[in-house]
A and B are shown apart, each in its own frame.
Chain A
Amino acid sequence: MNLFQPEPRGAHAPRPTLRSVGPQGEVEKGSMSSPVRILGFVNHIAPVPDIEDEIRQAFEWGVDVVVAQGTGSDWGPYWLGSGEQVSANQAANVEPYVRAALQHGVPFVFSLGIAGADVHLETCLRGFDEMCERNGWSPEVGVVRSEIGKDYLAAAVADGPPVVPCSEGAGHQPLTLADVADVERVVALIGPEPVQELLGRGVDGVLTGRALDIGLFMALPMMRGIPTAVAAHAGKLLECGGLALEPGDSGRSVWASLDETGFEVRSPSRHARASVRSLVSHTFYERAHPTLEENPGGTLDLSQATYQETATGIRCEGARWHEAPYTLLLEGARREGFRAVTLLGVREPELLRQARTWTEAAEREVRSAPRFAAHVAAGRLRISTRIFGLDAVLGELEPNEKVTGHEAGVLVDVVAADEELAREAAYFAFIRLFIGPYPGRKTTAGNAAAPIMPVVIPVSAVYTFSIYHLLPLADPVEPFRLGVERFPRAGAVREEAADAAV
């Protein structure tokens, strides 16, 4: 059991008690049987226009903690590797929730920054600074930075138990020092424990980098004696906000009240409702297995879970938690090269009939050109042509062998060791496609339409998930940097200027 015992509150404890005072002024009792009520949403998606109504409804029912996830690996390794943000302003999405949480004196717990490394979190924290400044708020916030230092990881690989691959689909081997040396950035999906550590200090809220979604939801309930299985089951249903409702919309929120044996889920919006079907189908969502989910420290088992309609929502019970050694999932991105693309449109019937042989000929010419051949042989230059209208989505799985429509798009995708090589190869491919002969050609002035100038578009550096491994941990808090900061932070503007100068 990883049930965290909160430490006595120290100097960082402006609020009289972590146990909340409800909106009607009733003070909850300290027994294990007090329910813990969560308002959940997703903070990387903009809220629906009438979100204030939902929040008001939820707080009328009572809320002990407001929780939202804002990290994930679904967007691929690019963001982790590049340090860029998919959307820079997650703070705007949390503003109405933070206002309500501060008004009612209940903590908020958010993970931020999608890829969730320090650089992403910092971008979001600056948005948080501005939001607090604008509203005249000065919350004391616990911050968990969940990027893992390369020195720390190298020591773990050298001295600790093996850091093994998490997915057989990744084609990885146990982590080596070379993997650590090559990686651009590494994050860990923190469990509930670092959040609990900070909540235990009586902060107004906790902001984290990359985190396990359900861990954010589990943190406070577990501190208040809710069984791990119940907390994890609730977290699984709440982690995508209103997506678990009917109709599903992650711009909406979801509410649940947890006790020792289970929890009730309700829709704070009158435009959506919780149903057995919506909740059970949500337990499937983005999960390989419908009822088993491996988490740090144990597996959530929903094989005997029950869902019962009540007058106000759906009562969920029967989750089990099987203890396992504590491991954290690490994600790391390595730079693979640089991408350049070129795009052509085809409307000529004869060329559409032989679209694939035409692009294959151009690819061959690139690969065999004296200026590129050595780079191709050394793996420094790769080229792929996607024909939209033929097989761009499914690739080799596509059963259609010919273009069946009246036009098609050709995207030449080049990944090379550096930008110059990628651009040169993409340009070479464009020219061969544009003017190269093909059997039965009538269009001798140019084979296709060029919709974008410059014809070669330098896209970006390309990254791969070189680390997707499980790190065994004795202490789930130890690798992370925890702090309590007063927002808006005094040095925020200066730090921004210093970063810009780098």
Chain B
Amino acid sequence: MRLYECADIIRSKNAGPFTLTIDLFFGDEERYSIAKGSTLLTVAGVAQAYGVEESRVKGVYFDDRIRAAKVSLLRWSSSTDPFCADMFGAHLHTPLADGELVPARSEGVPE
């Protein structure tokens, strides 16, 4: 399953001009745990989705109470860039949302 199908709400926005934050909300426990246990929602997975260094990913966080995740990364082009294509960062979710949710524990296990 792709993250896009798994999450109910995918909220992409600036957190200050230079940081992008993507909030993900899941409709039930099952889908929340698929996302939480995925390789995509890790620092390495996010860095790969956006083609950036891992050091530019500020964090991947989870809140079990409300079945939510937060992904924050430094923007590669912000409103300070004269050619920034998305001032509010409101439409930068798709590279992450298109990612497949692969269980982290199955990584490296031979088939």
Contacts and interface: CB of A to CB of B under 8 A. Distances in A.
A281 B94 contact: no
A170 interface: yes
Interface string A366-387: 0000000000000000101010
A301 to B, nearest CB: 14
Interface stretch (A95-103, A249-257, A284-292): A284-292
A475 interface: no
A292 B2 CA distance: 30
A288 B58 contact: yes
Given A169-B75, A289-B72, A468-B17, A74 B88 contact: yes
A160 B82 CA distance: 32
A286 B74 contact: no
B45 to A, nearest CB: 15
A415 B16 contact: no
A290 B61 contact: yes
B63 A280 contact: yes
Given A170-B17, A394-B95, A280 B68 contact: yes
Contact of B66 (A76, A281, A287, A462): A281
Contacts of A417: none
| Main SS class of interface, A | mixed
Interface string B38-65: 0000000000001100001011010101
A287 B15 contact: yes
B110 to A, nearest CB: 29
B105 to A, nearest CB: 24
Contacts of B23: 281, 284-285
Nearest to B67: A277
A395 B70 CA distance: 24
Nearest to A73: B17
A393 interface: yes
Nearest to B92: A394
A55 B98 CA distance: 43
Interface string B68-83: 1010101101111111
A77 interface: yes
Contact of B18 (A169, A277, A336, A462): A169
B72 A384 contact: no
26 contacts: A74-B17, A75-B87, A76-B84, A77-B17, A77-B79, A168-B18, A169-B78, A170-B18, A170-B78, A280-B66, A281-B66, A284-B21, A284-B63, A284-B68, A284-B70, A285-B11, A290-B63, A336-B82, A393-B86, A393-B94, A394-B85, A395-B85, A415-B83, A465-B78, A465-B80, A468-B18
